[in-house]
Chains A and B, each alone.
Chain A
Amino acid sequence: EVQLLESGGGLVQPGGSLRLSCAASGFTFSSYAMSWVRQAPGTGLEWVSTIRGSGGSTYYADSVKGRFTISRDNSKNTLYLQMNGLRAEDTAVYYCAKAGNEGWYFDLWGRGTLVTVSS
């Protein structure tokens, strides 16, 4: 079955760190760019970061640049997001998403994992 499954969310204090994981199955993981997209409570979607299939190139939204690091392990079919220096405004559901064949639209999404930043 083609699916993405996120894990690693939870409650963290401001300034803290968290690492999210996304396990992929049912497709050739290394062939596709992968992304993280987040959604704060009651709001819209915000692209966070993308990594190319080879892992050689990474891209970040300005709001997380310098604090978050995206990576992947193609031998484990797993995507990661290391989040440091967390702020209250990082509170959101974080979705793992697979890029399409023709660009950085997202044709497969995980169910999401909730990150809450609060003291």
Chain B
Amino acid sequence: DIQMTQSPSSLSASVGDRVTITCRASQGISNSLAWYQQKPGKAPKLLLHAASRLESGVPSRFSGSGSGTDYTLTISSLQPEDFATYYCQQYYSGPTFGGGTKVEIK
């Protein structure tokens, strides 16, 4: 099974900050990576797939990059509605999720 290691597990940031979350796969996943946002009591929401393809309706302040085993989600200017938990997920071989990153208000 492919293991996904996400870091950090939590972070504190202020509105307007640039935030970066990293996901590392235990083997190469050929950009088969998705990012989700989840707010308390709600279902996850797909933000990007194929490592960098933004879903329709997702603000352009969200972006994704990476290759091979290492991938990054960047929020260029954190907004109040962005405080949530973020998950990466590989779909190269049998879906697996990272452990999540909780983005909290500083």
Which residues of B from 73 to 91 have beta carbons under 8 Å from A? Answer: 87, 89, 91
B49 touches A47 (CB 8 A): no
- List A contacts of B42 (CB < 8 A): 111
- List B contacts of A44 (CB < 8 A): 87, 97-100
Indicate if B28 sits at the interface (CB-CB under 8 A).
no
Of the candidates B32, B46, B94, B98, the one whose C-beta lies within 8 Å of that of A106 is B46
Q: Contact size class for A? A: 20 to 34
Q: With A47-B95, A109-B45 in contact, is A103–B100 under 8 Å at CB?
A: no
Which residues of B from 53 to 104 have beta carbons under 8 Å from A? Answer: 55, 87, 89, 91, 94-100
Of the candidates B1, B36, B38, B91, the one whose C-beta lies within 8 Å of that of A104 is B91
- List A contacts of B46 (CB < 8 A): 100, 105-107
Q: With A44-B87, A111-B43 in contact, is A106–B100 under 8 Å at CB?
A: no
- List A contacts of B100 (CB < 8 A): 44-45
- List A contacts of B21 (CB < 8 A): none
Indicate if A80 sits at the interface (CB-CB under 8 A).
no
Indicate if B44 sits at the interface (CB-CB under 8 A).
yes
Chain B residues within 8 Å of chain A by Cβ, number? 23
Residues of A within 8 A of B (CB): 35, 44-47, 50, 59, 61-62, 95, 100, 102-107, 109-112
Given A95-B43, A105-B91: 17 more A-B contacts, CB < 8 Å: A44-B98, A44-B99, A44-B100, A45-B97, A47-B95, A47-B96, A50-B95, A59-B94, A100-B49, A103-B91, A105-B49, A106-B44, A106-B89, A107-B49, A109-B45, A110-B43, A111-B42
Residues of B within 8 A of A (CB): 1, 32, 34, 36, 38, 42-46, 49-50, 55, 87, 89, 91, 94-100
